[in-house]
Amino acid sequence: MLHNAINFQGLKKTFHTLRGPVQALRGLDLQVKPGEIFGYIGVNGAGKSTSIKVLLGLIRPSAGGAWVFGEPAGSLAARRKIGYLPEVANYHEFMSAAELLMMHARLAGVPRALQAERCREALELVGLSTRKHSRISEYSKGMKQRVGVAQALVSDPPLLILDELTSGLDPFAQRDLRDIMLRLKERNITVFFSSHHMNEVESICDRAAIIHRGALQACGTIPELTENRERVEMLWEAVEVSEPVSQISKEGEASVARHEAHSFLQLAMSRGYQLKRMSSKRTNLEDVFHDITRRVDREASACSPS
Ligand SMILES: Nc1ncnc2c1ncn2[C@@H]1O[C@H](COP(=O)(O)OP(=O)(O)OP(=O)(O)O)[C@@H](O)[C@H]1O
Ligand SMILES: [Mg+2]
């Protein structure tokens, strides 16, 4: 039987803090297939890193479960299958990339005879071969992220989890890391990465998931996520505005999901706006992300006691 690379089933996690309980995950269900490049999108605090930490066995779920290629999260067998780049990584800055990788190869239990070759390969793959003897303190942020990917690769894992690989990087460094992810896919490595860069997710993912308020809100290929979600763009002129309509900015433009267009039109006209032009636009992932998170927030505030 072919197992999913990642399987989250009804995953819940509540943190008990001084301010009271925080429900970080509220029944997350998600499956990632072997060999996929999978994008994990969510606003700050959506629950991405918490679910990743459960997968690594760094924290225990309050309910539900998580599996890595069929092995329970946190077990040695599951941990051996994962290479991980945390969202905030601190390396021993006095070491060179070559030294750091050898240390990680030993820690990961790579057989002694294979250690040097694995380190060489990993550094080659991330394009750091020529700088491998420089101290990490001399590296730029982009180079440090590459060291992070190399470190995650030395144990030759079938699954790579990259938590915000490209945050804070310039567009060229982002593109380099995207190319690295594609090279990993060619080697049949499953790549699961969280990101706030929608264009990045759109350009390289086989599938993506949108997580919000600790639960899965949408999952699929980019065409699956964006189709049937056309938007309507409208140009407005304020005639005698009684009360502003929230989506209409000062310039008088509004962009709404197709299914919301009719009620929006009625509301705006009843408040004294006049429609000047209207056109429909194909949605991109960012629009979908925006629409979904807004809808979930609206539903959550409608349900919460006032
Ligand atoms: N150790 C903790 N103790 C208490 N609350 C926590 C802890 N870790 C996470 N949380 C809370 O759980 C929720 C989910 O956080 P998480 O770090 O998983 O979000 P995220 O999607 O990774 O966000 P970001 O994009 O900012 O990295 C947040 O409300 C956060 O404050
Ligand atoms: Mg995070």
Question: Which residue has 């009271």 as its token pair?
Answer: 20
Q: Is 60 exposed, middle or buried (0-12, 13-18, 19+ CB in 10 A)?
A: exposed
Question: How far does the centroid of ligand 1 lie from the alpha carbon of residue 44, in Å?
Answer: 8
Q: pTM for the complete prediction?
A: 0.85
Question: How far does the centroid of ligand 2 lie from the alpha carbon of residue 223, in Å?
Answer: 26
User: Which residue's CA is the closest to the ligand 1 atom numbered 2?
Assistant: 15
Q: What is the dihedral of CA 117, 121, 127, 131, to 10 degrees?
A: -10
Question: How far does the centroid of ligand 1 lie from the alpha carbon of residue 50, in Å?
Answer: 6
Q: What tens digit of pLDDT does each residue of 115-133 get?
A: 999 999 999 998 888 888 8
Buried b / exposed e along 171-202 (16+ C-beta atoms within 10 A):
eebbebbbebbeebbeeebbbbbbbebbebbb
Q: What tens digit of pLDDT does each residue of 181-236 get?
A: 999 999 999 999 999 999 999 999 999 999 999 999 999 999 999 876 778 888 88
Residues with CB under 5 A from ligand 2 (ion): 48-49, 87
pLDDT at 52 (0 to 100): 96
Which residues contact ligand 1 via a Cβ below 6 A? 15, 17, 22, 24, 42, 44-50, 87
User: Which residue's CA is the closest to the ligand 1 atom numbered 27?
Assistant: 44
CATH classification number, 6-225, choose in 3.30.70.2190, 3.30.950.10, 3.40.50.300, 3.40.50.10800: 3.40.50.300
- Strands of the sheet with 207-212, listed across from one edge: 82-85, 159-163, 190-194, 37-41, 207-212, 215-220
242-247 contacts, C-beta under 8 A, 24 or more apart: 242/271, 242/272, 243/271, 244/271, 245/271, 245/273
Q: What tens digit of pLDDT does each residue of 129-174 get?
A: 888 888 988 998 888 988 999 999 999 999 999 998 888 788 888 8
pLDDT (average), residues 232-253: 75
Kindly state the tokens that stand for 274.
Answer: 């006049």
Give the mutation target among 50, 163, 196, 293 for probing the ligand 1 site: most ligand atoms within 8 A of CB.
Answer: 50
Q: Which atom of ligand 1 is nearest to the CA of 47?
A: 18
pLDDT (average), residues 274-283: 84
Angle between helices 97-107 and 141-153 (to 10 degrees): 30
A 10 A CB-CB count for 103 gives 16
Handedness of CA 74, 2, 119, 183 (dihedral sign): negative
From the CA of 195, which ligand is nearest?
A: 1
Q: Is 37 exposed, middle or buried (0-12, 13-18, 19+ CB in 10 A)?
A: buried
